[in-house]
Structure 1
Amino acid sequence: MTRTAITVRHRARDTGLVLLTAAAAWAWVALRRGDMGSGAMVGDLLAFMVTWTIMMTAMMLPATAPVASLYARTGPVHQAPRMIAFTAGYVLVWAAAGLPAYALAAGTNQVATTRPTAGTAAAAAVFAINGLYQLTPFKDFCLAKCRSPIGLLLRYASYRGPSRHVRAGAHHGAFCLGCCWSLMLLLAAFGVMNLWAMAGLAAIVVAEKRTPRGPLVARVVGLVSLALAITVFWVPQLAPNLTGGGMTEMRGLDGRGW
């Protein structure tokens, strides 16, 4: 077998392993959506963090699989453990993002259940924040790092110590968080456990990072989000989790009302 064939086989194996992990996370979300807590879910930080981490694993790993596979081949010897550690560091960053997400979920639940009018304004703010951020230079900067990570991979080659692969994954994850945090903010409007919203946002992330027109996709999403910030005042059902349109945060978390 030629060296090229071996490299292709290793790359396919590594990418497949990351994608298999994402698929398992999607399956967990789909199967457990009916019993992911009731009214106590927002009050249970640990349960929320576990759920959030699995959600982010499902949504973010498909777009990151090629980078993780490439990182596995940056050493002198091909090592799958290198890729696993890199992926773990990446997921840890998104897991940490669950803390502010938890605070936001608790706040949106309070707004949705007690002040529907304020919920519409909050939904408009969420859409506007995402729309504006999608058009900023910092979004472009982080997206560029995610789309062309070769420079970062060269930097990671200088990392030393037993945690170097995890650190590399966390560093890349930080750029990914900088690129996509405002998209995840939209879950506050749609519902944290809204499977359709998760699938749609995951598709946007893949399109931004892995397609030739990724930067254009980001701008279009930003403009659409700004349009939603205005439209939601006339069509509050666009943000069911905040406007009481059939799904509060609690119902979104336990999977009903999708």
Structure 2
Amino acid sequence: MGESRSAAASEPPHRGSLLPARELGVAWSLLAVIAALAWLLTIWQAHGRMAGHGAVVMSLPLFVLLWVVMMAAMMLPSVAPVAITWARGIRRQSGGLERAARTAEFTAGYLLAWTAFGLGVYGLLAATGELVRGHPGAGRWIGSGAFALAGLYQLSPFKTVCLRHCRSPMGQLLYYARFRRWARDFRVGAHHGLYCVGCCWGLMIVLIPLGVMNIAAMAAVAAAIFAEKLWRLGAVFSTVVGLAFLTLAVLTFSQSWLLPGLAHAGS
């Protein structure tokens, strides 16, 4: 009974209970600055590197570091509303410093989920890079397969479930409020991050043929993720993106310029 009252008291508030305008502006500004700095660092790291499988010559620790920066740049703009909504619930129980620390825990948990996915991406980059170097013709099949897999997933019910969660997270945030207090904000961030990985991994794997350090491709994927999650027609847009990927899967056999990442691996 006592735990239920404690959980109820810590629930994120409904729409009527908002952060003060000043604090809300500070929260948005901080996330915008972090995302902008992450983009600048990503562009700086990409400058002078091959926009593709050059990434696999990095050591694993360096790749993970750059991957986390990339995810901060690409994902923070679309996850900001969820983080700020959670902060609304935090505000009633926490002082300024504690609230900042708990929000940082949420962000760390969220990025941890994407870091785990990044380890899988590193393995795929290494494997496909070796395969294409030994068999250059395999690049077209790998690229076509990546686009086809991404396109089919965009049209799948699993994508729909994860996208619905990311577009309307309030019910899930109320569920998170029942988590035990130990590292709750970190676990909430990681849990939401897993849903986000489930929603967006198909969009991410097209960076294998397009190039992991391809800034234009990263920006396009980030824009697609932002539109899916926050645009009123995001669900329809997601379907359109899936159909576009299936079209690209066919075109890759005649349009080698669609495979800059795999072209670098072949050379």
The verdict on a shared fold, with TM-score over 0.5 as the criterion, is yes
The aligned residue for residue 62 of structure 1 is 77
Residue identity matched to 1:7: P
* Correspondence for 1:171: 191
User: 1:29 matched to which residue of 2?
Assistant: 42
Following TM superposition, by how much is the alpha carbon of 1:74 offset from its aligned partner in structure 2, in angstroms? 1.1
Q: RCO (CA 8 Å, sep 6+): is it higher in 1 or 2?
A: 2
**CA offsets 1:188-207 (integer angstroms, 9 cap, x no match):** 01111000000000000000
* d(CA) in 2 for partners of 1:141, 1:126: 22
> SS of the residue aligned with 1:73?
helix
> Displacement of 1:209 after TM fit?
0.2
Structure 1 residue 41, shift from structure 2 partner:
4.5
Q: Distance in 2 between matches of 1:126 and 1:44?
A: 24
Letter in 1 for 2:93: V
Equivalent AA in structure 2 for residue 111 of structure 1: L
Alpha-carbon distance between aligned partners in 1 of 2:20 and 2:102, rounded to the nearest angstrom: 16
Counterpart position of 2:61: 46
| TM-score scaled by length of structure 1 | 0.88
The 8 Å contact of residues 130 and 182 in structure 1, kept in 2 or not, is answered as yes
Matched with 1:248 is 265
TM-score by length of 2: 0.85
Task: For 2:105 and 2:261, locate their aligned partners in 1 and report how far apart those are by CA, in whole Å.
Answer: 36
Query: Taking structure 1 as reference, are residues 46 and 6 closer, same or farther at Cα in structure 2, changes over 3 Å only?
Result: closer
Q: Which residue of 1 aligns with 2:112?
A: 92
Partner residue of 1:11?
24
Out of 57, 71, 75, the position equivalent to 2:86 is 71
Deviations 1:200-240 (A, max 9, x none): 00000000000000001110000000000001111121112
Counterpart-to-counterpart distance in 2, 1:87 and 1:16: 15
Shift in Å, 1:6: 5.8
Answer with 218-227 or 16-25: which moved more.
Answer: 16-25
Q: Is the 8 A contact 1:14 1:80 kept in 2?
A: no
Displacement of 1:18 in angstroms is 1.7
Counterparts of 1:77 and 1:9 in 2: how far apart (Å)?
18
SS state of the match for residue 97, structure 1?
helix
- Inter-partner Cα distance in structure 1 for 2:117 and 2:36: 21
Q: Does the CA-based 8 Å contact 2:106-2:189 persist in structure 1? A: yes
Superposed displacement of residue 15, structure 1: 2.1
Which residue does the alignment assign to 2:133? 113
SS in structure 1 at match of 2:45: helix
Aligned AA (2:265): T
Report what 1:182 is aligned to.
202
Residue from 225, 238, 253 that aligns with 1:233: 253
Q: Which residue of 2 aligns with 1:254?
A: none
C-alpha distance in 2 between matches for 1:125 and 1:40: 20
Measure the CA separation in 2 of the matches of 1:94 and 1:102.
12
Answering whether residue 225 of structure 2 is matched by residue 208 of structure 1, we say no
Matches of 2:266 and 2:205, distance apart in 1:
13
Matches within 5 A, 1:129-208: 129-208=149-228
Aligned residues: 245
Alpha-carbon distance between aligned partners in 1 of 2:160 and 2:19, rounded to the nearest angstrom: 35
Distance in 1 of aligned mates of 2:67 and 2:120: 11
